[in-house]
Structure 1
Amino acid sequence: MNLPKIVSELVKTQNNFDSVAYANCFSEKAVVFDEGKTHNGRKEIEHWIADANERYQSIMTPVSYEQNGTESILKADVSGTFPGSPIVLSYHLKIDNELIQSLKITG
């Protein structure tokens, strides 16, 4: 599967549990929507993913990727220490200037 560089980096940093590198995949004013909560800006995203990494130890395996302009959907098989693992999640991404501007994670 041919993923854009920033999406490949997002997967790699998630699988390495590197919350700082993960957050650096996002623009300074990026927004993440996950589990009914909104996380604004790179620092909040870093704290959110660090907490999620500690709680869930999630590993992503890309299943499919569709892109339409600046919007794309990455479907990934996600396994970890959460109820219902593994599960296929959809990562709705808006990418601009090679950085993620927004991410919404859905089941």
Structure 2
Amino acid sequence: MSIELPKVIAAYFSADKTGNAQAISDCFTEDATVLDEGNTYTGRNAIRQWMANASTQYTYTVEPFDIAQDGARTVVTSHLVGNFPGSPVDLRYFFVLRGKKIAELEIVP
């Protein structure tokens, strides 16, 4: 199934596939927040470090397969397979966009 993602969300998943932490952080506003696995990361530097750590700790693939709107949030459901506990898993990515950037991202099972 092919879905059409907003440009910045597509760029986020594309950068995630290559493990490019800098390209991922560039998708976010300067003051963006990410909530993942009970942790909050605020600002591009913290977001870049979060992704750099995840990329070195685990090997995984992520495939978005569904998109929906939840108020102001764009919800993308993706299938993750890798060498992390609980693999494989479907995760929901709740994106809040501001202009052409991601202002908030929450990742939950």
Q: 1:82: which partner in 2? A: 84
RMSD over aligned Cα, in angstroms?
1.1
- Tell me the TM-score normalised to structure 1 length: 0.95
Structure 2 regions of 5+ residues with no counterpart? Answer: none
Poorly superposed stretches of 4+, deviation over 3 Å: none
Tell me the CA shift for residue 59 of structure 1.
Answer: 1.7
Structure 1 regions of 5+ residues with no counterpart? Answer: none
- Tell me the TM-score normalised to structure 2 length: 0.93
Q: 2:97: which partner in 1? A: 95
Secondary structure at the aligned position of 2:78 is classed as strand
In 2, are the aligned partners of 1:77 and 1:88 still within 8 Å (CA)?
yes
Q: 2:25: which partner in 1? A: 23
Q: 2:11: which partner in 1? A: 9
Secondary structure at the aligned position of 1:10 is classed as helix
Distance 1:83 1:69 in 2: 31
Q: 1:104: which partner in 2? A: 106
Tell me the CA shift for residue 68 of structure 1.
Answer: 4.8
Q: 2:43: which partner in 1? A: 41
Tell me the CA shift for residue 67 of structure 1.
Answer: 2.6
- The residue type equivalent to 1:12 in the other structure is S
Distance 2:97 2:82 in 1: 26
Give me the identity figure in percent: 32
Aligned residues: 107
